[in-house]
Amino acid sequence: MRRQMERTYGRMARGVMVAVNPVKKMAVKTHCVVHKYINIQAVEILKNDGYDDAYMFYKKHIKHLNDGVTWADQDFKSTNHFYHYKLERGLYGFSNALVECQKYYEESIRLIKNGEEHKGVFFLGASAHLIQDMTVPHHVNNRLLKSHRKFELWIIDRLFKQYNFSIMAGTKRYNSVEEFIKNNAKFANSVHHKYMEIEDREQRYYKVSKEILREAQITTAGYLLFYYDTVIMNYDKEKDL
């Protein structure tokens, strides 16, 4: 009964969202600048860490990777981009980041096996979006949802104007999609608790952003390398063309 009520709530909420979809699409264009930045930095990290083959592959496909990372936030798919670090579920009535990331990952593999390299990397980008979202405290702790957009806008404003958050090396590897999602979620929650007592918002946001953007870059590099080693090397018929 509870599951049925939750599904019904989810359908009603999605119906409301359709009405404001054009406004949401305008917001996505600015928000995904950060995700594209993380992807670009992750590819640079692969180069600097000596993973030359993986670097060349993703350098060639950076547009498809970034198209996928942007698509993942369109049409209110972002309502599924939450995963409570402890309860291991998303928002009430919706899917969660682990389920969605695994879905995109598996679709990517299917396309690569089918010889559709560009589309495969597109869905890899969509799954990477979820890996990156899990480094943000607001995506792993529902109590922080009210301040989510305010924090996002702060990062967008400061990223290219004031602070340098770029990381140049330090690929961080895990062995599965589940490990990337769960470990990043736990990390995000720990960062929140580390700085939650700082009253000055600018200082608190800066310290949190510095840590989570670092983790987003090095774990995205690790995820891209994991994908290259396990999928591209085994199934991609076009990688040497």
Q: Which range, of 31-35, 76-80, 156-160, 208-212, averages the lowest pLDDT? A: 76-80
Query: How many C-alpha atoms does 146 have within 13 Å on its Cβ side?
Result: 1
pLDDT at 140 over 70: yes
Domain that includes residue 114, residue range? 21-240
Q: Which tokens in the block code for residue 153?
A: 């806008």
Residue 200 domain flag: yes
pLDDT at position 238 is: 63
DSSP labels for 10-76? Answer: HHHHHHHHHHTHHHHHHHHHHHHHHHHHHHHHHHHHHHHTT-HHHHHHHHHTHHHHHHHHHHTTGGG
- Domain total in the chain: 1
From the list 34, 8, 16, the residue with the least C-alpha distance to 158 is 34
Residue 146 domain flag: yes
Residue 4 domain flag: no
Q: What is the mean pLDDT of the chain?
A: 86
pTM for this prediction: 0.86
Residue 14 domain flag: no
- Stretch 94-114: mean pLDDT, rounded? 96
C-alpha angle 219-100-17 in degrees, rounded to nearest 5: 120
What is residue 228's DSSP assignment?
Answer: I
Residue 60 domain flag: yes
Q: Which range, of 17-31, 34-48, 73-87, averages the lowest pLDDT? A: 17-31
CATH code: domain of residue 64: 1.10.575.10
pLDDT at position 173 is: 98
From the list 122, 123, 163, the residue with the least C-alpha distance to 34 is 163
Residue 133 amino acid letter: D
